[in-house]
Amino acid sequence: MSRRPLAGVAARADLPSGLLDRLVAIAVRPNATLPALWACLEDARARKDAAAHPALPAAVVAGLLGHPHPEVAWAAAGHPALPAAAVERLVAEAERAGPAGRAPG
């Protein structure tokens, strides 16, 4: 299944809030599917939980490190599936950035 149709659902502003609340709830379910998580990554309220979900493959998690929303990048940085090489790059970047490179919030 393509991620595009579900991602399009998350981007629709005309949907009832109850439907979007259900989308947010999907992101924290242990049995969430990858296509559902793709949709959750498109929703502002669900993207952080979706980025931290254990069902995301390592390649997807690594790709989220450059996500334009910092909360997604930080959730991906703490993901257990993040490849060791990506972790090493993050540590090196943090060391170069110094105290200014701390997590948001």
b/e map 53-91, b = 16+ CB within 10 Å: beebeeebbbebbebeeebbbbbbbebebbeeebeeebe
In total, how many domains does the chain have?
1
Range of the domain at 96: 4-101
pLDDT tens for residues 41-74? 888 888 899 999 999 999 999 999 988 988 988 9
| pTM of the predicted model over 0.85 | no
Is 5's pLDDT higher than 50? Answer: no
